[in-house]
Amino acid sequence: MNGRTTTWVLSIVVLIAAVSIVRSCRGGRDAEQTPASASVYDRVMKDGVIRCAYVVYPPGCMKDPNTQKITGICVETLEAAAKNLGLKVQWSEEVGWGTMIEGLQTNRYDLVCSGIWPSSTRARLVDFSTPLFYSGIGAYGRPNDTRFAGNLAAVNAPSVKIATIDGEISDIISRTDFPSAQKISLPQLSDVSQLLLNVATGKADVTFVETYTAYQFLKSNPGTIKNVVAEKPIRVFGNTVMFRRGQSEFKAMLNTAFEELLNSGYVDRLIDRYEPRPGTFYRVNYPYRLAPTGAAARTAATTRVGH
């Protein structure tokens, strides 16, 4: 073998080694890797599977501790929508409030489906579906603490302690509305009822949760907390599923499937099953108006003719 041939062979060996190293760094299977910039719609339609993460947060998403089965208003709506689209749902992983967006951005899953509340803080990073139903958020303190009755601005003081969960809506409200108050923070995967327990036991003075959570807590702990804004919620949020930004085709497809289930009454029937008492949640209005019938129709017609 002459010198030129030896150099050529060595070059080929080096090139093959370099390609092998690159493939190894990428996981060894380029064709199976899905870049974060790739179309979620294209991958879902190709594989027939929607990969979902979830935060356990009743009644949008609940997990049976014995069977590990995932249920709830948002979970069952998504599964029904996927079935109508000819797709399957894969429940990929349980996530925390503060880490759920990171997993979307790195393409570990396609959706977070738990009844996520859209906020301006989150909207900078992610996108949301059409709401399936709405939740009103109350401000809960102890019944014998009258500092905040009719004066929620009094919460914004250094002497006041707010119970929060990292990345959850209580944390967002406390930082945006009451920055001067102290934060008594819990880890991301903490049960939201722990916020109310911290208030009831005096570890914190106030927290922000939805009516459903407070109702369930009061069933087991009667008389321990009180909503100081019972007349009007401090926030009203739509319960949605959360997408990575820029996935307009995927979002449009799911929104169409969700609207079909909303307009058919499917979501209302789910809410009836999980709502502890009427009025706990706010339903989505139908996007149309029925024409009057019978006597009402004749009266309307006469009025129009008369004018």
Q: 63 with 177, same domain?
A: no
Q: 149 with 229, same domain?
A: yes
How confident is the model over 91-109, as a mean pLDDT?
Answer: 93
Q: 72 with 98, same domain?
A: yes
Each residue's pLDDT tens digit, 135-187: 999 999 999 999 998 889 999 999 999 999 998 889 999 999 999 999 999 99
What CATH number is given to the structural domain containing 44? Answer: 3.40.190.10
120 versus 36: the higher-pLDDT residue is 120
Q: Does the residue 294 lie in any domain?
A: no
Q: 65 with 211, same domain?
A: no
Residue 10: the pLDDT is: 44
Alpha carbon distance 10, 19 (integer Å): 14
Number of domains in the chain: 2
Answer whether residue 302 shows pLDDT above 60.
Answer: no
Q: Does the residue 48 lie in any domain?
A: yes
Q: 221 with 77, same domain?
A: no
Answer whether residue 288 shows pLDDT above 90.
Answer: no
Alpha carbon distance 106, 237 (integer Å): 26
Contacts of 94 (CB under 8 A, 6+ apart): 53, 54, 55, 56, 63, 189
204 versus 292: the higher-pLDDT residue is 204
Mean pLDDT across the chain: 86
3-state SS string for 18-81: HHHHHHHHCCCCHHHCCCCCCCHHHHHHHHCEEEEEECCECCCEEECCCCCCEECHHHHHHHHH
Q: 130 with 49, same domain?
A: yes
How confident is the model over 223-231, as a mean pLDDT?
Answer: 93
In contact, 131 and 238? CB cutoff 8 Å: yes
- Strands 70-71, 226-227: parallel, antiparallel or unpaired by DSSP? unpaired
User: What is the span of the domain harbouring residue 162?
Assistant: 136-236
Q: Does the residue 79 lie in any domain?
A: yes
